[in-house]
Structure 1
Amino acid sequence: MADINEWVKEEWKQTTTARERIKEVLVETTEYMSAAGIAERALTSEPTTRKYLEELVDDGFGVTAQDGRTTTYKRHEGRLIDERIEELRTTCTQQELIDGIRGMKETLEAFRETYDADGPEEAVMELAAGDEGWADIGRWRGTRRNLAIAQAALQVDEAHRLAEA
């Protein structure tokens, strides 16, 4: 199995640039990570990684935080949300967005009724370790986030239509 992993890594190195690999690792990074950690995953040197991370942060793909004297990096969630809004706006019809929004609102109402709670934060107070409801909490949060993104896509689409009129 190690041979296959090494072969895949080598192929990735040969078919991509260092900047492409660093960007790929960065946009998948949900927790802050050091440049050394990103360099290891991107199969690049630390100086090269630092150089491209600075560019990627400047381009809006990542954000930084300080951990003592170490700068750490992770993806820029706002940019991903903006990209998802634009993707929905350009690939879905207005009616598809409306139908999706209605369905998500119904799902959220079902969660509220099932758990007799206004939101997942309130519902977790009633769950014990091992309860089956924990999976619903994740779906509840995801549905709420997706609803906000779909509503934003609908509003942005409306703004574009009005601007074009």
Structure 2
Amino acid sequence: MSDSNPFPEDDELPDEAPDLTGIDPFEEDPSDYGDINEFVEADWSESKTARQRVKDVIVRATKPRSAAEVADLADVSPPTARDELNALAEEGTVRAESTDGGRVYQRDPDWYRIKRIRELSEKPQRALETTLRQLEEEIEEYKDTHGVDDPEELILSDESLDDEAWEDISHWRTASVDREYLRIALQYASLAESEEVIFDDDSGEDKELNSA
């Protein structure tokens, strides 16, 4: 890898790039289902505990839910749902908000974003850099093909968009989001490595002081 080129050369690339879809903390995609009821029917397991069922429901809900709504979907009592939701809120995976209609809950998207970044940062750096380069190339192809800098600009253009263009928009958006995750993951890994060096140095100084 040269100083002028931040990406690895072809002979430096690993055999396989990391699969970003594998970083998703959910086994099922809620967008595949018309509503949360369809998801529950598709992914339910009798072996799951009450807490697991409550968490399954709330992290896939597309809008804030009351404890009673979650209880009905998770097949638990309202007090149990409320207790579990409050525990998840304290844990940080769920947001709780008081409204005129009562307390409602929804998953905290920031918690899951951070989780995905941390999981990506643990993958080999070269693999992340390879995937990042591929995404950059894919995004440049979309720009060249449609003559705009981002998918939103294409949507707002005066062009009549066909099915192929809309498919490009969908993939373009996904590639753009994945690119940002990879960039942040690489920065996160670099920061973690730098902190380890600092703490190791501090530890060495402490040993010298103790030996003196």
**What is the TM-score normalised by the length of structure 2?**
0.65
Report the structure, 1 or 2, having the larger helix content: 1
Kindly indicate whether residue 151 of structure 2 is the aligned counterpart of residue 120 of structure 1.
yes
**2:86–2:96 Cα contact (<8 Å) kept:** no
Q: C-alpha separation between the residues in 2 aligned to 1:63 and 1:18? A: 19
Kindly indicate whether residue 98 of structure 2 is the aligned counterpart of residue 71 of structure 1.
no
Greater Rg by CA: 2
Q: C-alpha separation between the residues in 2 aligned to 1:68 and 1:130? A: 44
Unaligned runs of 5+ residues in structure 1 are none
Residues 117 and 34 of structure 1: CA distance in aligned 2, closer, same or farther (over 3 Å): farther
Partner of 1:152: 184
Q: C-alpha separation between the residues in 1 aligned to 2:186 and 2:166? A: 31
Length, aligned pairs only: 156
Offset of 1:64 from its aligned partner?
3.5
Partner of 1:105: 136
Offset of 1:129 from its aligned partner?
6.8
Task: In structure 1, give the amino acid aligned to 2:60.
Answer: E
Moved more, 80-89 or 69-78: 69-78
Q: C-alpha separation between the residues in 2 aligned to 1:136 and 1:68? A: 42
Offset of 1:80 from its aligned partner?
1.0
Kindly indicate whether residue 86 of structure 2 is the aligned counterpart of residue 54 of structure 1.
yes
Q: C-alpha separation between the residues in 2 aligned to 1:124 and 1:67? A: 35
Residues 114 and 77 of structure 1: CA distance in aligned 2, closer, same or farther (over 3 Å): same
Q: C-alpha separation between the residues in 2 aligned to 1:120 and 1:32? A: 29
Task: In structure 2, give the amino acid aligned to 1:64.
Answer: A
Task: In structure 2, give the amino acid aligned to 1:63.
Answer: R
Kindly indicate whether residue 162 of structure 2 is the aligned counterpart of residue 162 of structure 1.
no
Residues 136 and 73 of structure 1: CA distance in aligned 2, closer, same or farther (over 3 Å): farther
% identical equivalent positions: 31
Equivalent runs, 1:23-34 vs 2, <5 Å: 23-34=55-66
Kindly indicate whether residue 117 of structure 2 is the aligned counterpart of residue 85 of structure 1.
yes
Partner of 1:134: 166
Cα-Cα RMSD: 2.3
Kindly indicate whether residue 165 of structure 2 is the aligned counterpart of residue 95 of structure 1.
no
Partner of 2:48: 16
SS in 2 for 1:83: helix
Residues 71 and 110 of structure 1: CA distance in aligned 2, closer, same or farther (over 3 Å): farther
**What is the TM-score normalised by the length of structure 1?**
0.82
